């Protein structure tokens, strides 16, 4: 029944069943476990790739094959139904021909057939859209509507054309649950076509996307965008000044070739594929952790864990899966307390009784009326017998290793509060939206409950904190965690860097949408505000774009003195603009400006110095030495006495009047805060700097670079102030005493690059914290004033400074494992995007 070329690794068969419709099946005998691909050719031109995944039980039995999803169906596209004669053929994935049984030739077996068709009146329709340019890709979605059934079908073929050049034909099969929900269609309908970097060096790009093989243009096509950033524009503008740019081009080409060849293996957009491999690796990871403890002769205790689970009208099958995930735990000393919160569901009550009879570790509490999640949880807390308490929702899932890993990490790190990473589980059974969290980050916690699931707390601290408060229902867990921070030191809160919890997306859950629970937003504002009041802080807390993310505005006028240090050399137009912005738009009064003149010679500069020296708040320091950013700032800091230094590039222009007041309030919030950074934008409004992530190989990468100003970023990381390992000295507020304590910038080894990262690492190593303040925004013409590090004449110095950083910090934990960044992400220019191969973690 199947036909296989002697040199092919595939077998299959196809037949014409009606005019313009062909059905068949195909198997890749080398990889039989996965559906194979068949290519369709019309007039010897490839027009479509067909996935052979249609279920056919009858065919499965005839072939005696272990899978039934091996079939396919192909309809002649509308544009070939033109009453003209055309040739049709198929090829296997290895490009060998496919046998067709032609009903017009008495079912003769041939490698191609001819057809001549008129246009259908009942053709399919498409819903589609180009979302835009994201993460180096053109992104969008396509759904095909079957007019007979009304179904919306994904996995369409699309062709991407850039500036008239055909780039790539791909399947629109990326996971898009948002589109599926909107159209009640198949979720695998998205596309994200990576544009090679070598093609991105054009000022404007026009993308056209077509649904194939009908060449139907996608909505919002053509889509026009600029693929260059401001830094590249600057390079292009000054290129005529560099005859020796060939050296630079060679280095650039090396990088481009690497980018063209090495596409990411795992990316956040395809998380489900990564997750399948990751979760299958967890048993081995747990075995390794056990063996490490055994080798170190560390014997851990096995305290009882009380798992609190309020139950209120869950889907029965989801509830069973939730309880079963607890029963499957590798750690055995637990109790599960199920609190039926007046749901009055006979089926759920019967199920609870069955579980109680099945396993004596499961306890049941039945409430006569619905008391709400906080009070129901509190009823469970009254009955706990464990030393540790965990919170669990009635339709979510724990991975089998969850409890054992949590209790293991808690004891190894002397922690009293541990939390893990989590993801979401949708109605299609796909893992999605992973929350790969930073280590404990109090400032980030004020902005959102990033901790969420899975949490486990020592019972002593639960008793100190007290019960959950129903006045914060919708944000009761956020309130509870904030109250815990009032009793616990940061060192007693530990982050388990593994995904141990699946948060199920249901129509009524906040995992689905906060639009269903706007009360959660109001409760979140109240709990953050009340927490800060208890700490003696008067603030104004507000929601960011009506989401459960919060901006904290401090109602306090600081009194600290600040010296703003600005190195410059000529280029007086931008320096004057920088200074004027400060003088005209700063509503804080306790500051002065120290301009460090590094050998200016132009007459207009001397005139500027003469005029601005008359201003009460402006002073000048002249340094006649070669450009050394670190030394210029160190010399300035030695000449003045202030509570804080504000290091500022002369190509940075402030935007908000209260910028300095906001930064000072962040710095003065706690004694151990030593540095505060600001959000910097390119002149085109996109983000240039939103903090720095450090790590071996890359040294440092800017967070959120290239994003739109108000884009939330990954779990709010682009809009929420947070603790980070480093920020840029292009605009950096530093506590003066700490600056001198760590000996300032390294003016010997890091004259130009990475001196700010090195300073931050020294400050972190000394036990201080660094805050990235997302509420202060300035415009930065990056490296405009003194040039770029990738110019040929700077390359040797830049390479030395990079190697110095690797040598100095390479083996230190503060650098190897950035506490603000998950090890599941790679430290690459595109942060929060590429995922680390689970086998290499």
Give the CATH number, domain containing residue 792.
Answer: 3.90.550.10
Give backbone dihedrals phi and psi of 102, rounded to 5 degrees, phi first. -95, 110
The reply to whether 526 falls in a domain is: no
Residues 672 and 796 both lie in one domain:
yes
Could you give the count of Cα atoms lying within 13 Å of 740 in the half-sphere of its Cβ?
13
Contact 307, 457 (CB under 8 A): no
Residues 621 and 738 both lie in one domain:
yes
Contacts (Cβ under 8 Å, ≥6 apart) of 761: 694, 725, 726, 809, 812, 814, 815
For residue 39, give the H/E element and its range.
strand 37-42
Q: In the structure encoding, which two tokens stand for residue 207, read together?
A: 């993308």
Determine which of 340-349, 383-392, 504-513 has the lowest per-residue pLDDT on average: 504-513
Render pLDDT for 410-458 as a digit per residue (tens, 0 to 9): 999 999 999 999 999 988 888 999 999 999 999 999 999 999 999 999 9
Residue 104: give its domain's CATH number.
Answer: 2.60.40
Residue given tokens 């990262």 in the structure block: 757
Q: What pLDDT score does 516 carry?
A: 47
Q: What pLDDT score does 650 carry?
A: 96
State the Cα–Cα distance between residues 397 and 325, nearest whole angstrom: 6
State the Cα–Cα distance between residues 113 and 122, nearest whole angstrom: 24
Could you give the count of Cα atoms lying within 13 Å of 252 in the half-sphere of its Cβ?
16
The reply to whether 400 falls in a domain is: yes
Residue given tokens 């499957």 in the structure block: 328
| C-alpha torsion 496→502→505→508, nearest 10 | -80
Render pLDDT for 587-596 as a digit per residue (tens, 0 to 9): 999 999 999 9
Question: Which residue range is the domain that position 460 belongs to?
Answer: 303-513
Q: What pLDDT score does 507 carry?
A: 64
Q: What pLDDT score does 187 carry?
A: 86
The reply to whether 279 falls in a domain is: no
Strand pairing category for 305-311 and 334-341? parallel
Q: In the structure encoding, which two tokens stand for residue 375, read together?
A: 């009070």
The reply to whether 270 falls in a domain is: no
Render pLDDT for 456-472 as a digit per residue (tens, 0 to 9): 999 999 999 999 999 99
Residue count of the chain:
841
Q: In the structure encoding, which two tokens stand for residue 777, read together?
A: 């925004």
Give backbone dihedrals phi and psi of 572, rounded to 5 degrees, phi first. -70, -20
The reply to whether 297 falls in a domain is: no
Average confidence (pLDDT) over 113-122: 76
Contact 563, 635 (CB under 8 A): no
The reply to whether 767 falls in a domain is: yes
Regarding predicted confidence, which is higher, 564 or 62? 564
Residues 222 and 333 both lie in one domain:
no
Render pLDDT for 788-806 as a digit per residue (tens, 0 to 9): 555 555 678 888 999 999 9
Render pLDDT for 507-540 as a digit per residue (tens, 0 to 9): 655 555 444 468 889 999 999 999 999 999 999 9
State the Cα–Cα distance between residues 708 and 711, nearest whole angstrom: 5
- Boundary residue ending a domain (228, 257, 272): 228
527 burial type by CB count under 10 A (0-12 exposed, 13-18 middle, 19+ buried): buried
Q: What pLDDT score does 250 carry?
A: 56
Contacts (Cβ under 8 Å, ≥6 apart) of 259: 196, 197, 198
Q: From the CB of residue 383, how many other CB atoms can be counted at a distance below 10 Å? A: 13
Contact 695, 815 (CB under 8 A): yes
Adjacent-strand bridge partners of 71 = 25, 54
pLDDT band for position 7 (cuts 50, 70, 90): low
State the Cα–Cα distance between residues 652 and 783, nearest whole angstrom: 10
State the Cα–Cα distance between residues 302 and 411, nearest whole angstrom: 10
Residues 106 and 135 both lie in one domain:
no
Q: What pLDDT score does 478 carry?
A: 98
Q: What pLDDT score does 122 carry?
A: 53
Please give the order of strands across the beta sheet that includes 112-115.
Answer: 45-51, 37-42, 86-91, 112-115
State the Cα–Cα distance between residues 610 and 605, nearest whole angstrom: 9
Query: For residue 231, is pLDDT > 50?
Result: no
The reply to whether 346 falls in a domain is: yes
Render pLDDT for 303-316 as a digit per residue (tens, 0 to 9): 999 999 999 999 99
Q: What pLDDT score does 227 carry?
A: 54
Residues 131 and 63 both lie in one domain:
no
Strand pairing category for 722-723 and 652-654? unpaired
Collapse the DSSP code of 439 into the 3-class scheme (helix H, G, I; strand E, B; otherwise coil) and give the result: coil
Residues 331 and 435 both lie in one domain:
yes
Q: Is 423 left (phi over 0), alpha (psi -120 to 50) or beta?
A: beta
Q: In the structure encoding, which two tokens stand for residue 550, read together?
A: 């919060």
- Boundary residue ending a domain (115, 134, 158): 115
Query: For residue 246, is pLDDT > 70?
Result: no
The mean predicted confidence, pLDDT, of the chain is 89
Residues 104 and 137 both lie in one domain:
no
pLDDT band for position 120 (cuts 50, 70, 90): low
Q: What pLDDT score does 791 carry?
A: 58
Peptide bond before 161: cis, by omega within 30 degrees of 0? no
This model's pTM is above 0.85? no
Query: For residue 229, is pLDDT > 50?
Result: no
Q: Pick from 346, 364, 230, 323: which is nearest to 682 by CA? A: 230
Residues 333 and 459 both lie in one domain:
yes
pLDDT band for position 351 (cuts 50, 70, 90): very high
Contact 482, 444 (CB under 8 A): no
Residues 16 and 147 both lie in one domain:
no
DSSP 657: T
Render pLDDT for 293-304 as a digit per residue (tens, 0 to 9): 999 999 999 999
Structurally, how many domains does the chain consist of? 4
Query: For residue 781, is pLDDT > 50?
Result: yes
The reply to whether 756 falls in a domain is: yes
What share of residues in the chain are helix, strand, coil (percent, to 5)?
30, 30, 40
Average confidence (pLDDT) over 120-144: 81
Residues 213 and 80 both lie in one domain:
no
415 burial type by CB count under 10 A (0-12 exposed, 13-18 middle, 19+ buried): buried
Q: What pLDDT score does 178 carry?
A: 82
Query: For residue 255, is pLDDT > 80?
Result: no
CA torsion sign for 26, 30, 32, 33 is negative
Give the DSSP letter string of 319-334: HHHHHHHHHT-S---E
Residues 583 and 439 both lie in one domain:
no
Residues 610 and 680 both lie in one domain:
yes
772 burial type by CB count under 10 A (0-12 exposed, 13-18 middle, 19+ buried): buried
State the Cα–Cα distance between residues 634 and 748, nearest whole angstrom: 12
């Amino acid at each position: 029944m199947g036909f296989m070329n002697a040199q092919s690794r595939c077998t299959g068969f196809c037949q014409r069943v009606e005019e313009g419709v062909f059905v068949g099946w195909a198997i890749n005998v080398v990889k039989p476990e996965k559906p194979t691909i068949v290519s369709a050719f019309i007039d010897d031109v490839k027009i479509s790739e067909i996935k052979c995944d249609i279920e056919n039980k009858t065919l499965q039995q005839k072939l005696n094959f272990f899978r039934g999803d091996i079939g396919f169906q192909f309809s002649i596209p509308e544009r070939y139904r033109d009453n003209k004669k055309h040739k049709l053929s198929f090829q296997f994935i290895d490009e060998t021909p496919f046998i067709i049984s032609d009903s017009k030739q008495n079912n003769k077996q041939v490698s191609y057939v001819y057809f001549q068709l008129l246009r259908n009146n009942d053709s399919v329709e498409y819903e589609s859209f180009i979302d835009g340019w994201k993460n180096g890709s053109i992104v969008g979605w396509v759904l095909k509507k079957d007019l007979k059934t009304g179904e919306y079908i994904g996995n369409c073929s699309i062709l991407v054309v850039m500036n008239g050049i055909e780039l790539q034909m791909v399947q629109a099969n990326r996971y898009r649950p948002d589109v599926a929900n909107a159209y009640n269609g198949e979720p695998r309908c998205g596309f994200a076509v990576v544009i090679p970097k070598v093609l991105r060096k054009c000022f404007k790009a026009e993308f056209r996307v077509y649904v194939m093989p009908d060449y139907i243009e996608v909505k919002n096509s053509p889509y026009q965008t600029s693929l260059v950033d401001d830094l590249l524009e600057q390079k292009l503008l000054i290129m005529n000044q560099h005859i020796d740019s060939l050296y630079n081009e060679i280095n650039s080409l090396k990088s481009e070739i690497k980018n063209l060849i090495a596409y990411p293996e795992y990316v956040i957009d395809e998380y489900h594929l990564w997750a399948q491999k990751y979760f299958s690796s967890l048993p081995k990871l747990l075995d390794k952790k056990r063996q490490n403890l055994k080798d170190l002769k560390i014997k851990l205790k096995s305290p009882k864990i009380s798992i609190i689970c309020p139950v209120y009208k869950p889907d029965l099958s989801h509830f069973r899966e939730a309880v079963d995930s607890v029963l499957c735990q590798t750690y055995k000393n637990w109790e599960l307390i199920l609190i039926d919160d007046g749901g009055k569901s006979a089926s759920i009550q019967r199920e609870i009784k069955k579980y109680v009879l099945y396993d004596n570790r499961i306890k049941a509490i039945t409430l006569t009326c619905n008391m709400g999640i906080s009070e129901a949880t509190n009823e469970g807390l009254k009955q706990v017998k464990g030393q540790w308490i965990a919170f669990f929702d009635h339709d979510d899932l724990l991975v089998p290793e969850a409890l054992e890993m949590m209790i293991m990490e808690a004891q190894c790190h002397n922690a009293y509060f541990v939390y893990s990473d989590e993801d979401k589980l949708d109605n299609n059974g796909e893992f999605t939206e992973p929350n790969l969290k930073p280590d404990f980050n109090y400032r980030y916690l004020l902005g959102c409950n990033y901790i969420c699931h899975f949490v486990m707390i020592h019972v002593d601290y639960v008793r100190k904190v007290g019960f959950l408060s129903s006045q914060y229902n919708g944000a009761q867990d956020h309130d509870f965690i904030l109250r815990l921070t009032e009793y616990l030191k940061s060192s007693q809160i530990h982050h388990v860097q593994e995904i141990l919890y699946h948060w199920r997306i249901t129509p009524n859950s906040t995992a689905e949408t906060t639009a269903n629970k706007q009360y959660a937003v109001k409760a979140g504002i109240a709990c953050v505000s009340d927490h800060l009041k208890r700490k003696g802080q008067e603030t104004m807390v507000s929601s960011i774009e009506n989401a459960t993310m919060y901006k904290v505005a401090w109602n306090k006028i600081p009194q600290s003195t600040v010296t703003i240090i600005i190195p410059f050399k000529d280029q007086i137009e931008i320096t004057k603009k920088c200074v004027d912005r400060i003088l005209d738009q700063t509503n804080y009064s306790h500051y002065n400006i120290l301009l460090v003149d590094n050998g200016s010679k132009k007459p207009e500069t001397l005139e500027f110095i003469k005029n601005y020296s008359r201003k009460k708040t402006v002073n000048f320091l002249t340094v006649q030495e070669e450009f050394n950013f670190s030394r210029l700032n160190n010399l300035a800091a030695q000449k003045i006495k202030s509570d804080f230094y504000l290091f500022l590039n002369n190509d940075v222009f402030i935007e908000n009047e209260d910028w300095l007041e906001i930064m000072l309030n962040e710095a003065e919030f706690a004694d151990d805060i030593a540095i505060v950074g600001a959000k910097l934008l390119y002149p085109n409004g996109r983000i240039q700097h939103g903090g720095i992530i450090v790590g071996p190989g890359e040294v440092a990468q800017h967070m959120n670079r290239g994003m739109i100003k108000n884009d939330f970023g990954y779990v709010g990381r682009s809009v929420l102030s947070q603790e980070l390992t480093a920020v840029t000295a292009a605009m950096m507020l530093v506590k003066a005493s700490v600056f001198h304590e760590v000996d300032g910038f390294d003016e010997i080894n890091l004259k130009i690059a990475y001196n700010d990262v090195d300073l931050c690492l020294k400050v972190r190593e000394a036990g201080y914290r660094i805050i990235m303040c997302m509420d202060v925004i300035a415009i930065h013409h990056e490296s405009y004033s003194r040039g770029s590090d990738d110019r040929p004449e700077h390359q040797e110095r830049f390479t030395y400074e990079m190697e110095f950083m690797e040598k100095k910090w390479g083996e230190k934990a503060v650098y190897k494992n950035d506490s603000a960044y998950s090890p599941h992400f790679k430290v690459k220019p595109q942060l929060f995007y590429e995922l680390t191969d689970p086998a290499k973690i």
